Amino acid sequence: MTALTRTAMQRSASSSIPPSAGAPPRDTATTDSANWLDLGELRVCVSGQDPRLLGDQPGLLLLSNPADSHDAIVFRGQLTARRYRDYLLQSASPGALVIVDQPALGVHPDVQLNSGELLALWEPLQPYLDTIARLRRIPLLGSDASRDAVLALVKAHTRQSNIEARWQSRSDQPIGYPLISSTPDARALLEKLADDGLLQRHFFERLHQCGHCASAQVFAREVCISCGCSDLTEAPLVHHYACAFQGPENLFAADDGLACPKCKKMLRHYGVDYDKPGQIVSCNGCQKTMSEPDVSFVCGDCQHETRGDDSPTHTWHSYSLTADGARAAAAGCLPNRQSKAGSSTLIELTDFIAIGRHHVDIAARCDRPLTLVALYCESRESQSLMPDRRGRFTDFLARLTCEAVRRGDLVTRHGDVVIACLPETARADALVLVERLQASIDANVSDEVDTQITYIEGDEIKAFLDELA
Ligand SMILES: [Zn+2]
Ligand SMILES: [Zn+2]
Ligand SMILES: [Zn+2]
């Protein structure tokens, strides 16, 4: 067996994820399957066609603008990675169920339906109601740098799926991740999430790279151990019992059969005069014979050759969500956003009122500044924010506010309003803090909502707290 065939055999034994190993904790809240009634109207966005062409479907609200929140997106006409990416950039619901009507290119949709099924979506969507229910519990995803990472976690969580590695052709990378196929440099992103403890790695493949340009488009070949030439011939090895000479069969070729090139005797009977104990490789460049040629890699991108021993490797993994990963997915943001140093935590309204009154007293007695900021989210178009999303959006707004304020500031939630109490802070200073918060909101929240901000200062504060109580 040559080095290359051995490598090939090792390769074919590559593992897939054992079903139980490192399986993500299942979402206990979804043990009861979602049903249509729990979910209410399903919001389906249609891309590439007027949604009205899908007819009037009971229980479904068909939308055309992906900036309006939706449960599923239907792509009419071929879906490509580029088209999906464009959708993600504008989408209020980037984790939405992906439905296509023809085979997609470079994207792995959740469902492929024919035109008839698209006219009665109720039926084919039934198996996905749990996924939709999980998606609805996740806060709006931001549009900041972490969005791709959060989306990867959200996709795995809502589909209750591992992020499986798969071989792929016609791509710059030999291995891809269908679940997040449109993500640029998915491997680096997933490795980072694994380093951060949000994903668990499962070995998939170890591949060689070009030693010159790190490309994975390398072609493995067997080469002569002496001159490095790949012009090799594999032939049966002949062993002459009488003189113990061994060599490739062609050296024994004679007019009337086989003759030993060493002792010149004729080899008449297999098993009596000689046998063939295996294969031998000979180099047509330098005539050297060898039992095992070397392996080297030629790069398809830069044409550089890298000898096997010098070739760097990449290990590819599939991934499953860890408990922390599932939590981050459910929260719709990465954990470092949740626990930034100096940030505050959300407190109960009653505590907020009590401590707030205490600060009012201090401010009055010592003539210190004090400002309250109330934040309220409103949908840009009054119809476009689903009622259950409003609550989750407020949670998200509360979390962003906790991050933006300083330690010692108070943050609470009253219905859909988030309130921050900022001791030792005049309105002008509060503005700075609110600007920082506004930037964070803009980076993290889709365009479908506007955040209303109100400042409360001086005597108004006491009255405001009394009203809350
Ligand atoms: Zn190269
Ligand atoms: Zn011989
Ligand atoms: Zn050679």
Residue 241 domain-assigned?
Answer: yes
Instruction: Say if residues 167 and 343 touch (Cβ distance below 8 Å).
Output: no
Q: Please list all protein residues whose beta carbon sits less than 5 angstroms from ligand 1, which is an ion.
A: 210, 212-213, 215, 299, 301-302, 304
Task: Give the domain extent around 277.
Answer: 226-292
Residue 71 domain-assigned?
Answer: yes
Q: Spell out, as residue ranges, where the chain has pLDDT lower than 50.
A: 1-32, 337-342
How many angstroms separate the alpha carbon of residue 310 from the centre of ligand 1? Answer: 13
Q: At 274, is the secondary structure helix, strand, or coil?
A: strand
**Separation of CA 154 from chain center:** 9
How many angstroms separate the alpha carbon of residue 248 from the centre of ligand 2? Answer: 13
**To which residue do tokens 């239907």 refer?**
74
Question: What are the angstrom distances between the C-alpha of 34 and each of 109, 112, 379?
Answer: 21, 22, 26
- For residue 3, what pLDDT is reported? 46
- For residue 372, what pLDDT is reported? 94
**To which residue do tokens 């030993």 refer?**
260
Q: Would you mind telling me the total number of residues written for the chain in this entry?
A: 469
Structural domains in the chain (count): 3
Residue 380 domain-assigned?
Answer: yes
How many angstroms separate the alpha carbon of residue 1 from the centre of ligand 3? Answer: 19
Instruction: Give the amino acid at 350.
Output: T
* Stated pTM of the model: 0.62
Residue 262 domain-assigned?
Answer: yes
How many angstroms separate the alpha carbon of residue 236 from the centre of ligand 2? Answer: 16
Q: Which ligand is nearest to the CA of 219?
A: 1
How many angstroms separate the alpha carbon of residue 161 from the centre of ligand 3? Answer: 50
How many angstroms separate the alpha carbon of residue 282 from the centre of ligand 2? Answer: 19
Is the same domain home to 409 and 265? no
Residue 97 domain-assigned?
Answer: yes
- For residue 384, what pLDDT is reported? 54
pLDDT tens-digit readout, 371-411 = 999 998 776 665 555 666 677 778 888 888 887 777 678 88
> What is the pairing mode between strands 346-347 and 410-414?
parallel
Q: State the Cα torsion 160-165-170-173 to the nearest 10°.
A: 120
- For residue 163, what pLDDT is reported? 96
The strand ranges marked E within 56-184 are: 60-63, 72-75, 97-100, 111-112, 166-167, 175-176
Task: Tell me how far apart the alpha carbons of residues 449 and 385 are, in angstroms, rounded to a whole number.
Answer: 8
Is the same domain home to 197 and 232? no
Q: Which ligand is nearest to the CA of 261?
A: 2
- For residue 159, what pLDDT is reported? 93
Is the same domain home to 167 and 255? no
Q: Which ligand is nearest to the CA of 265?
A: 2
Residue 39 domain-assigned?
Answer: yes
How many angstroms separate the alpha carbon of residue 201 from the centre of ligand 1? Answer: 27
Is the same domain home to 385 and 458? yes
How many angstroms separate the alpha carbon of residue 281 from the centre of ligand 3? Answer: 10
Is the same domain home to 47 and 166? yes
Q: Give which of 324, 71, 75 is closest to 193, Cα–Cα.
A: 324
The strand ranges marked E within 324-405 are: 346-347, 370-379
Is the same domain home to 282 and 413? no
